[in-house]
Amino acid sequence: MPNYTNLHFLRFLLFEVHPVKELFSYPRFAHLDEEQAWMLIESAKKFADQEMAPYYKEMDETPVRYDGKGNVLTHACLKRIIPIAAEQGWIGSTADFEHGGMQLPEMINGTAHHIFQAANNGVEGYIGLSSGAAGLITSFGSAAQIKKYVPPIFAGKWQGTMALTEPQAGSSLTDITTSAKHIEGDQYAIRGQKIFISGGQHEACENFIHLTLARIEGAPAGTKGISLFIIPKFRITESGSFEYNDVYCAGDFQKMGQKGYATTHLVFGDHNNCIGYLVGEPHKGLSYMFQMMNGARISVGLSAASVTMAAYQASLQYCKERPQGRLITEKNPLQPPTLIINHPDVQRMLFTQKAIAEGSLSLGMECNRLYDLVHAGEGDEKHNNWLLLEILTPIVKTYSAEQGSRAAALAIQTLGGYGFTTDFPVQQHYRDLKIMSLYEGTTGIQALDLLGRKVTMENGKALQILSSAIQSTIQEGITIPATTNCANQLANSLVEIQKVLAKLLPLATEGKIDLLLADATVFLEMVSYTVIGWQWLKMGIIAANQLNNAQQEKRSFYEGKLHTMEFYFTYEMPHIAACAKTLLTMSGLTSVKDYELFA
Amino acid sequence: MPNYTNLHFLRFLLFEVHPVKELFSYPRFAHLDEEQAWMLIESAKKFADQEMAPYYKEMDETPVRYDGKGNVLTHACLKRIIPIAAEQGWIGSTADFEHGGMQLPEMINGTAHHIFQAANNGVEGYIGLSSGAAGLITSFGSAAQIKKYVPPIFAGKWQGTMALTEPQAGSSLTDITTSAKHIEGDQYAIRGQKIFISGGQHEACENFIHLTLARIEGAPAGTKGISLFIIPKFRITESGSFEYNDVYCAGDFQKMGQKGYATTHLVFGDHNNCIGYLVGEPHKGLSYMFQMMNGARISVGLSAASVTMAAYQASLQYCKERPQGRLITEKNPLQPPTLIINHPDVQRMLFTQKAIAEGSLSLGMECNRLYDLVHAGEGDEKHNNWLLLEILTPIVKTYSAEQGSRAAALAIQTLGGYGFTTDFPVQQHYRDLKIMSLYEGTTGIQALDLLGRKVTMENGKALQILSSAIQSTIQEGITIPATTNCANQLANSLVEIQKVLAKLLPLATEGKIDLLLADATVFLEMVSYTVIGWQWLKMGIIAANQLNNAQQEKRSFYEGKLHTMEFYFTYEMPHIAACAKTLLTMSGLTSVKDYELFA
């Protein structure tokens, strides 16, 4: 079995870079210690080794299939994996004890899910979605709803989903038309269609709990008239038996990647017999859903980082085993070939992958730590951590997705022609990764979120907190010889961002909001390079400190961190200036009215 | 049927930017005029519309299959397409009249092949390979060899291939071990294995002529001991009948893209009954093969540009038809949604694709023009054009492949979740494109070729000719108001390249050739951005001039060229400075000895 992640690196993140033990001082997590936490990670790894990784290729080669009669047929392994995941507590592991969860920090849950995603991102989704859906019910549902739906989801018997997208609306939730007509109590008659419903309906679970956005009759137009409903595939009668709830699966989308993961088309109420149960108050559905959505965005970022890590590990392993060619300084063809890892261009491709995979994993861990601090903390600290998490969410989601795809392309490239063949996993990683820039809000949507909302929220306070956090890492980095240069370079990039904002933000007061946001994606790219630079500086500082007293056998690991940090600052960070140059031009070139200009 | 290319743009390239009619003054091409040339292009388009485009998806969904008994099963359409291509003269269309060709300029042949590749890059390869293989025989084979092998290849009855790669050697042709033992005359007994043989053996042709590199017993080690052989699957007896030549197809590689294109594993002489026929002189095989290889590299560049164009056209069409969301300035949810082409971020993605697709196609056309001038011209002019073509070859190959993949990712992105589904062609374009950075020398190999060979050849003369050509476009561009800024920016990037070389090249004399070449890929990237900027400036100059007297209906087309030129200079060119910064660091970070640093 190929490597797909690196436990040393996960320990480094959890115990040194983003010390999880700081969480254990909060009452919510006081039941844990480092040793227990690591045992959980090791058991997750064993589970992934035994039950997930072995099916990664097979699930790709025997894609999910729709039988034309409402059923979605998935790989047989799912029927075994989901119950084990439930038994080990990984469905809803972060939920409160009172709801049947393990009350784990997201840092630990996220690390386990990283392992699952790296091993087989086609199975992890089923588990993650159930956790998210149940989390939405425990947060906003009634006691009765929690009691009815959450335990079977945590037991892996029922699958939770999130149902937002409609064929005509796509990313524009304003235009959702699925309708809800009041019957009585929390019951509404639902009619409508949803597409791209991951884990929609399949044969590995006996019931499906769709957390669905719909519009109550007479509700205000736009996003302010959207409500959240629990729509089960089967209603539960008084006696506990199943009653079909008119939720028909009309198809499964065939895709270029994630072929083992069901992506369904659902039709609600085609026979006027679909009941949805209102969650919380009417018209507040979108804000509720954004709890799950924000979590899902971080989770997509982590998923992308995880697949990128798996591709990197496969690439690294190949490069350490494959002899080919000679160093440029060796002219004698009678000398044996060298391992390809010795070629500088191959090292460039490996370090690029490593910088992206580990940098985005570290940022994912940072986000999960903030998530935990928000949930465990109080007062100003809680609020400030929330603001920081808000501004980092579009970044972790997008950087990991976009740069992850680039890294996976390099993984293919290191294998040469073999990388393009299905004999090796890297081409599957490349295909699977492409969806990450589309899931849960495309890159363009994330960019609007960052520049149009997060940068300006609370008078720029989120951005200010982020800048302070980065500054404080810079101040530490400047004092350490091995990180001084990178710290200075990072400080410069903060200045560049300020320069760009000084020029862009006045556009808002001039009423040119369209021009302000036209290059939001370039701005997101620029800030992302900076934020990942921050993560690398953090890792570099820890590594430099550890090298002062590391045993010989661990020195290489820390030296590798410093080396990759330098690589990132030398090869990746210079693109910040390029983004800045484009942004400062404020060209308005992307507001063309005459479509013939595209011809 | 979706659009896959733009005939207006092809006319623009052929008749305005790179005027093909200049070629008609050479005796070799005196038999042609513009009208004839365009009729050929239109007939190619019709052929592609009718016979190629309709099977693009189908060939992907019913991949080439190996039957376990030596046979490779291809899509049925090939048996119809290859003979039509032959009948229309597209196999060997550039060959001399005396060899049965149409003596077309590569500019015209390349334009037709662009159309084929954009319509269905899985069928074009079979045709292109046959042309290349036959070209190698007409250039270096004996009269008897030409007479025997070329006509059936041009007739589409036999398939030509190029067989270089071996499992243990990969990109390192030095390490080829396929052996040839002299029998008599031009006959040698061959033993060995070749992999990744495109169009290897399949059921759509009756015989296969493998142009194969092998080592004659006792030959010098390394690339100076490699000879070129014609190895047919079936030998032709005196009476003209077929005799099996012990060339066994042992498998077909399954790939993530180009699934309709056979990629075979061939075993020569496993039963000691394989005869190869020496082409030209012994030990000169590699230099002969490089005629085909250089052509193939340009052709891969054009192929990548063509698939990129097809993805762009599909993306553009979708964006013009899909309503979704509202402009940022429209807050009223009761207003109908706008077409997504009106969103600035979508326009950014479209212009990026357009800049890459059209920029690389223009460079491909430039290369084909030079190819024609080399073949039709004489003396110094011929030599200088050859030098310019030599330095542009790694650029057209790599830029089109690497940036084409990026463009296709954006094509997927514009379609949102739909782009990831097999309902739309963009995901197939994305998958198909990835091979282009591997075919005929990976990106890393091209980069070494550029910086290690082409930049320094003839004391830097090739680079000097390229610089002069770019300078002369800059001088023209500076005088035209619409292109002045871009011309100045391009001039700056030439200065940046000189700065980098001034720092890098002395490393060669200091004996630090490994450090000089360590970042060759970054250098290639930097020069590529510049060369594509040159192409855009060329196109911009023509467009600006034509706008002075264009009819109203054509104005938008030319305005679109100027607009895309500005877009390219605003969004893409700034990355040149980033590459320069990395290169000037000369960090040596990619010459790590301790593999643990990658852990």
Which among A233, A200, A183 has a CA at the least distance from the CA of A72? A200
Give the three-state DSSP class for A308.
helix
Query: How close does chain B come to A226, measured CA to CA in Å?
Result: 13
8 Å CB contact of A563 and B514: no
Cβ–Cβ pairs < 8 A, chains A and B: 296
Alpha carbon distance B593, A261 (integer Å): 41
Give the three-state DSSP class for A423.
coil
Contact with chain A for residue B521, Cβ under 8 A: yes
Q: What angle do CA B52, B56, B62 make, to 5 degrees?
A: 120
Q: What angle do CA A580, A571, B463 make, to 5 degrees?
A: 90
Query: How close does chain B come to A237, measured CA to CA in Å?
Result: 36
The model carries a pTM of: 0.97
B chain contacts of residue A456, beta-carbon cutoff 8 Å: none
Alpha carbon distance A23, B175 (integer Å): 57
Percent of chain A clearing pLDDT 70 (strictly above): 100
Query: How close does chain B come to A582, measured CA to CA in Å?
Result: 6
- For residues A357 and A305, the answer to whether their CB atoms sit within 8 Å is yes
- Per-residue pLDDT of B468-477, as tens digits, reads 999 999 999 9
pLDDT value at A480 more than 80 = yes
pLDDT value at A55 more than 80 = yes
**Six-digit token pair at B538?**
């060329």
**Six-digit token pair at A217?**
């009759």
What's the confidence (pLDDT) of residue A170? 83
The pair phi, psi for residue B548, each rounded to 5°, is -65, -30
Alpha carbon distance A367, A361 (integer Å): 10
* Long-range contacts of the stretch B266-269 (C-beta < 8 A, 24+): B266/B163, B266/B193, B266/B194, B266/B195, B266/B197, B266/B200, B266/B201, B266/B210, B267/B193, B268/B178, B268/B190, B268/B191, B268/B192, B268/B193, B268/B194, B268/B212, B268/B231, B269/B189, B269/B190, B269/B191, B269/B192
Closest-CA residue of A relative to B405 is A409
With a CB cutoff of 8 Å and minimum separation 6, the contacts of B508 are B456, B516
Query: Chain A window 471-510: which residues touch B at a Cβ cutoff of 8 Å?
Result: none
Query: At A593, which amino acid appears?
Result: K
Contact with chain B for residue A443, Cβ under 8 A: yes
8 Å CB contact of A344 and B591: yes
Provide mean pLDDT across the span A142-164: 97
Alpha carbon distance A266, B163 (integer Å): 51
Q: Which of A499-503, A576-580, B4-8, B199-203 has the lowest average pLDDT?
A: B199-203
Query: How close does chain A come to B205, measured CA to CA in Å?
Result: 25
8 Å CB contact of A518 and B412: no
Length of chain A: 599
- For residues A15 and A9, the answer to whether their CB atoms sit within 8 Å is no
**What's the first-to-final CA gap in chain B, in angstroms?**
49
Query: At B476, which amino acid appears?
Result: E
- Per-residue pLDDT of B262-321, as tens digits, reads 999 999 999 999 999 999 999 999 999 988 889 999 999 999 999 999 999 999 999 999
8 Å CB contact of A513 and B590: no
8 Å CB contact of A344 and B8: no
Residues of chain B with pLDDT under 70: 1-2
Q: Which of A252, A485, A589, A591 to mutate to test the interface with B (most CBs of B within 10 A)?
A: A589
Q: What is the DSSP string of B392-447?
A: HHHHHHHHHHHHHHHHHHHHHHHTTHHHHBTTSTHHHHHHHHGGGGTTTS-HHHHH
Query: How close does chain A come to B570, measured CA to CA in Å?
Result: 6
Read off the DSSP letter of residue A596. G
Which segments within B68-143 are labelled E, that is strand? 72-73
CA dihedral A150, A53, A554, A472 (to 10 degrees): -40
What's the confidence (pLDDT) of residue B169? 86
Tell me how far CA of residue A61 lies from CA of A49, A79, A215, B313, in angstroms: 19, 18, 39, 30
Query: How close does chain A come to B149, measured CA to CA in Å?
Result: 29
> What number of other Cβ atoms are within 10 A of residue B263's Cβ?
24
Alpha carbon distance A525, A395 (integer Å): 8
Q: Which residue among B350, B412, B438 sits closest to A434, beta carbon to beta carbon?
A: B412
Interface pTM (ipTM) of the complex? 0.97
B chain contacts of residue A594, beta-carbon cutoff 8 Å: 556, 559
- For residues B315 and B426, the answer to whether their CB atoms sit within 8 Å is yes
Which stretch of DSSP H or E encloses residue A546? helix A520-547
Q: What is the largest CA-CA distance in chain A?
A: 85
What's the confidence (pLDDT) of residue A451? 98
Contact with chain A for residue B328, Cβ under 8 A: yes
Which among A103, A102, A122, A111 has a CA at the least distance from the CA of A28? A103
Q: Which residue among B8, B422, B437 sits closest to A254, beta carbon to beta carbon?
A: B422
8 Å CB contact of B196 and A417: yes
Give the three-state DSSP class for A413.
helix
**Six-digit token pair at B420?**
């990831």
- Per-residue pLDDT of A67-101, as tens digits, reads 999 999 999 999 999 999 999 999 999 999 999 99
Q: Which residue among B222, B349, B574 sits closest to A578, beta carbon to beta carbon?
A: B574
Read off the DSSP letter of residue A568. I
Alpha carbon distance A268, A251 (integer Å): 13
- Per-residue pLDDT of A344-391, as tens digits, reads 999 999 999 999 999 999 999 999 999 999 999 999 999 999 999 999
Contact with chain A for residue B571, Cβ under 8 A: yes
A chain contacts of residue B222, beta-carbon cutoff 8 Å: 333-334
What's the confidence (pLDDT) of residue B554? 87
Give the three-state DSSP class for B158.
strand
8 Å CB contact of A348 and B514: no
**Six-digit token pair at A43?**
């058991």
Q: Which residue among A169, A412, A595 sits closest to B434, beta carbon to beta carbon?
A: A412
**Six-digit token pair at A96?**
């409160």
Query: Chain A window 361-380: which residues touch B at a Cβ cutoff of 8 Å?
Result: none
Half-sphere exposure of A233 (CA within 13 A, CB side): 20
Handedness of CA A58, A60, A61, A63 (dihedral sign): positive
**What's the first-to-final CA gap in chain A, in angstroms?**
49
Alpha carbon distance A126, A107 (integer Å): 19
Read off the DSSP letter of residue B421. B
Q: What is the DSSP string of A202-214?
A: -TTSSEEEEEEEE
Contact with chain B for residue A594, Cβ under 8 A: yes
Contact with chain B for residue A195, Cβ under 8 A: yes
Alpha carbon distance B599, B398 (integer Å): 30
Query: At B275, which amino acid appears?
Result: I
Read off the DSSP letter of residue A519. T
What's the confidence (pLDDT) of residue B518? 97
The pair phi, psi for residue A339, each rounded to 5°, is -70, 145
**Six-digit token pair at A594?**
């005459």
Name which residue leads in pLDDT, A14 or B508. Answer: A14
8 Å CB contact of A223 and B560: no
8 Å CB contact of B170 and A417: yes
Q: Which residue among B322, B347, B435 sits closest to A590, beta carbon to beta carbon?
A: B347
Which among B251, B276, B277, B278 has a CA at the least distance from the CA of B266? B251
B chain contacts of residue A352, beta-carbon cutoff 8 Å: none
Provide the angle, in degrees to the nearest 10, between the axes of the packed helices A285-321 and A426-433: 160
Q: Which residue among B196, B320, B328 sits closest to A595, beta carbon to beta carbon?
A: B320
Query: Chain A window 196-255: which residues touch B at a Cβ cutoff of 8 Å?
Result: 196, 221-223, 253-255
B chain contacts of residue A343, beta-carbon cutoff 8 Å: 444
Give the three-state DSSP class for B279.
strand
What's the confidence (pLDDT) of residue B1? 64
Half-sphere exposure of B479 (CA within 13 A, CB side): 7
8 Å CB contact of A557 and B596: yes
What's the confidence (pLDDT) of residue A1? 64
- Per-residue pLDDT of A404-434, as tens digits, reads 999 999 999 999 999 999 999 999 999 999 9
pLDDT value at A177 more than 80 = yes
Contact with chain A for residue B585, Cβ under 8 A: yes
